Structure 1
Amino acid sequence: MDTTLRPTNAGATGGTLGTRANASSRLVPTRSTESVDDTSANAAASSAASAAPLRTNGSAARIASNLQDQVAGAQQALDYLERVANQLEALKGELTAKLAGTRNGSRLQLEVHARQLAQTLAGRKKNGGGSVDSNLNYSTRPATQRFRIRGLDIESVRKSAPQTISFSVGSAGGPQMGVNIEPDQSNQQIARALDRALAPMGVHASLDENGELVFTTPEANWSSVKDSIAVSGRGRVTTDEVPANLAPQQWNVSAETGNADALRQSLREVVQALERVHRSQAAASAALQAASAQVADAAPPPPDMTIAVEDFNKVAASTDYESLIALTSALVGVSRDRVLALLGLR
């Protein structure tokens, strides 16, 4: 038996998914076009009435949906970061023991833990809630991809001043945005000027911790940005991803080639990564608390909530076939994660 979306007509007795002005939609299975007797028609109409839909305020629903997404993303990020933190702690212990020579067989355990961490980091985009970047930093904004434009560094830009640089992003050239570079501008001023020019295209520019020019774009946009940036006078340019600070797949920890210097460097990377993870955990927890406070301070529409509860109770209290179909159809797509996210708002 299928369900269809049809406007209801006055006096209709066949079950439909209908709508009417200033009223909520009804979820009722469609009837066959074959004729039915009056008893069946009345039963269907009665079931349709009992299967009244949930009604809600549109604005409140949008706010709740946004909060739900924020909470779900922060919860997923916290779960992922906790898993990474546990693996980093295990690696820290194995590396320390290996360097001190205090544990037999620690080399094998070290290799196992390094592979596990590499696999976890490889699944970050899928499991990190979309808000943990490659360096394990958390933000309430979508995670970004850091990259460089080959041949466009801060020194070469300064030496070529005064000049005007135009950028475009897009497979068809896209809109062009220009920026004027003056000889008396500082490195920071040049970076800000480039950032203003690129921002409308979804790309940002800044100076990294070493004072070098680095560009960022949301990870979701990276595939469409990396091969489509053009610079005036150079045409299409080559972009290079900035590698993550933590790369256990490149560590030298095997029995044949491992050495103390490499292990110490790996230990430093692990300790630094742990510090970032702890900061990210604190930031994600703060985001959850802020969302909870926003829910507590918000003024939900009591009439809508009361009506929604009453409507659901009416449908759930009925055990006839039409009501069960209405319930199961309405709950299609409601995942466990969404339910947990909503419960977390309480």
Structure 2
Amino acid sequence: MQISSASTPPVIVPGANAGSNASAVDGTALGLNGENAATATPVTPTNNAAAPLRRGLSNWDQPLQGDISGAQQALDFLEQSAAQLRSLKSDLSTRLATRQRSDGALEARVRQFSNSWRSRTSASGGTLDSQLNFSTKGSNTSFTVRGLNLSNLRGGAREVIAVSIGGGQNVRSVVLEPGLSDEQIAQRFNDALAPAGVRAEISDDGQLTFSTAESQWANVRDTISLQGGGIRFPGGQLTRVKADAEAPQVDPDTWQTTDLESIRTTLAQVVQSLSKVEQSIASVRQALAQVAARVQSADPTATKGGMDQVAQNFVSTTKQPGYQSLLSITSALAGISRERVMSLLRLRS
């Protein structure tokens, strides 16, 4: 194969005077190298070429790509977990039906699932929390703080509550007054604690609950301190208080198989966990379908002319032997991973 000169060829700018020096612009000056090399050949103006050329996958909305990837990761993890739970359910049921006592094999199956479940956060890309709620914004841990319950906070005279999270000088003040509604109390805690990465809200059962990023939970749990004015909370120095995380929907570390009674209890827990996982699968599939609908509803007419021109330029460039041809091909393949291709193909299934 004949290798042509490595210098960047001149690019004819549409609309420029072909006879002037301004019409020939060095491709490097335009940034037409690397992944843009496919469009470095002269572009013939068309009716659709008024809009600037835009690149293919790189032109996708980045949050949209993240939503697709996150939903697919969560779905893969949940489906694998559901398969493990169904297998474990079958084993436990067989043991009870035949009244066989536990052995090392059954205990190993439980440990295997438990180890797999511990990877929930990383395996799902941080999109599934302990309640199996799916969110592309990251998983959170919900918790309550002992003493910070609405029945205690409603009554009493005006009081300033100092709350410290993270230690040091990270102290926030919450002013409580007679006559505040539950929502107002939650909002005041939310406003005060938001800079520390903690949100406050009223739960479905009417309790004051807090939440923080799952990655920050350990630090938050171990560093919450309160100080009052002697009305709802004692004055003096900040006092450590206990925070309790919401019980997880699936907790295989508590499953036991030492005897028939514990096997029966574990079977009930496995059945309940499988139901929760299947509900989460349905929820994630719905979210993935919504993302697919966003992809399908995207109007392709705005970029069709430009992309057709890019494709034509790419074909023309790669047909000619030389360095520019090799550069166009390798640039087109750069950054295309198996995961990205699989995520796109799943949208068509």
- Normalising by structure 2, we get a TM-score of 0.70
CA RMSD of aligned residues (A): 4.1
**Corresponding residue of 2:271:** 271
Secondary structure of the structure 2 residue equivalent to 1:134: coil
Question: Is the contact between residue 118 and residue 249 of structure 1 (CA under 8 Å) also seen in structure 2?
Answer: yes
**In the alignment, which of 135, 138, 152 is matched to residue 139 of structure 1?**
135
Per the TM alignment, residue 239 of structure 1 is displaced from its structure 2 partner at its CA by 6.0
Secondary structure of the structure 1 residue equivalent to 2:128: coil
Per the TM alignment, residue 271 of structure 1 is displaced from its structure 2 partner at its CA by 2.6
1:1-346 to 2 correspondences below 5 Å = 18-20=28-30, 25-27=32-34, 49=40, 56-57=53-54, 61=58, 63-98=60-95, 100-102=96-98, 104=100, 107-149=103-145, 152-154=148-150, 156-158=152-154, 162-167=158-163, 169=165, 173-174=169-170, 177-185=172-180, 190-206=185-201, 213-222=208-217, 225-226=220-221, 231-232=226-227, 235=238, 237=240, 240=243, 242=245, 243-254=247-258, 258-260=259-261, 262-300=262-300, 301-318=303-320, 320-321=322-323, 323-325=325-327, 327-328=329-330, 331-345=333-347
Percent identical = 33
* Structure 1: tracts of 5 or more residues without a match: 1-6, 29-45
Aligned length: 308
Residues in 1 aligned to 2:337 and 2:187: alpha-carbon distance in whole angstroms: 43
Tell me the amino acid that sits aligned with residue 28 of structure 2. G
Tell me the amino acid that sits aligned with residue 271 of structure 2. V
Question: Is the contact between residue 74 and residue 123 of structure 2 (CA under 8 Å) also seen in structure 1?
Answer: yes
Question: Is the contact between residue 191 and residue 213 of structure 1 (CA under 8 Å) also seen in structure 2?
Answer: yes
Tell me the amino acid that sits aligned with residue 292 of structure 1. A
* Structure 2: tracts of 5 or more residues without a match: 1-7, 12-20, 44-51, 229-236
Secondary structure of the structure 2 residue equivalent to 1:313: helix
Q: Deviations over 1:11-33 (max 9, x none)?
A: 9xxxx99342xxx63229xxxxx
- Normalising by structure 1, we get a TM-score of 0.70
**Corresponding residue of 1:41:** none
Residues in 1 aligned to 2:101 and 2:306: alpha-carbon distance in whole angstroms: 64
Question: Is the contact between residue 160 and residue 176 of structure 2 (CA under 8 Å) also seen in structure 1?
Answer: yes
Residues in 2 aligned to 1:217 and 1:338: alpha-carbon distance in whole angstroms: 30
Q: Deviations over 1:98-138 (max 9, x none)?
A: 3x342657654432321121111111111113211123232
Residues in 1 aligned to 2:104 and 2:331: alpha-carbon distance in whole angstroms: 52
Question: Is the contact between residue 129 and residue 139 of structure 2 (CA under 8 Å) also seen in structure 1?
Answer: yes
Distance 1:329 1:59, change over 3 A: closer
